[in-house]
Chains A and B, each alone.
Chain A
Amino acid sequence: GAGVSQSPRYKVAKRGQDVALRCDPISGHVSLFWYQQALGQGPEFLTYFQNEAQLDKSGLPSDRFFAERPEGSVSTLKIQRTQQEDSAVYLCASSWASGVVTGELFFGEGSRLTVL
């Protein structure tokens, strides 16, 4: 596709439900990143994939958060037993390069999660 595609764009979940957010990066992009952006805040790093390998998951806030990219393209961010503090926009970004330094990040429009 022309850009990074994320779905769903909007998700409302009841507290305790599991949610899955999908990211379809730009074709051929090696690196994929997930960020969490709370209302009125800057994005905060969650995790990073290089192809199918998850090289950095240090930003995941708890073991309720899990991300995968099994075939090195599409990625899914799963949140189990959602809590109100999980309400945020989840941004996915991809890059042709390995890592950030040499490659521009292209962001999707985000998935806005509201937990009631």
Chain B
Amino acid sequence: QKEVEQDPGPLSVPEGAIVSLNCTYSNSAFQYFMWYRQYSRKGPELLMYTYSSGNKEDGRFTAQVDKSSKYISLFIRDSQPSDSATYLCAMLASGSRLTFGEGTQLTVNP
């Protein structure tokens, strides 16, 4: 079983929809939770960074962490065609080794 599970999709939504992306994990030592966005043939770029449980909002993006359920989410409000990308969750216990999910491919249709 992988330490981090993420539904690979693909997910297709109309412009303006609310998008919900999720990951579950099994390693209770994870304390730092991140969401990266990766456009086709590009490197990942950091979207959101959360320490421990709770919510964090940045513009149209909201990240939620529920450590008791080992479940994290990313919500995108008023989705735009430019949001079309692969979204990767990533987690860290300590040190240097990020563990990524396999990514969810999102398409926002105009």
Contacts and interface: CB of A to CB of B under 8 A. Distances in A.
Interface stretch (B14-22, B55-63, B97-105): B97-105
Interface residues of B, number: 24
Interface residues of A, number: 25
Interface string B63-97: 00000000000000000000000001010101111
A105 B102 contact: no
Contact of A56 (B6, B43, B97): B97
A43 interface: yes
Given A42-B88, A42-B102, A42-B103, A100 B43 contact: no
Interface string A1-12: 000100000000
B32 A100 contact: yes
B46 A104 contact: yes
B43 A4 contact: yes
Nearest to A92: B43
Contact of A43 (B44, B46, B94): B44
A58 B44 contact: no
Nearest to A93: B43
Interface of B: 4, 6, 8, 32, 41-46, 49, 88, 90, 92, 94-103
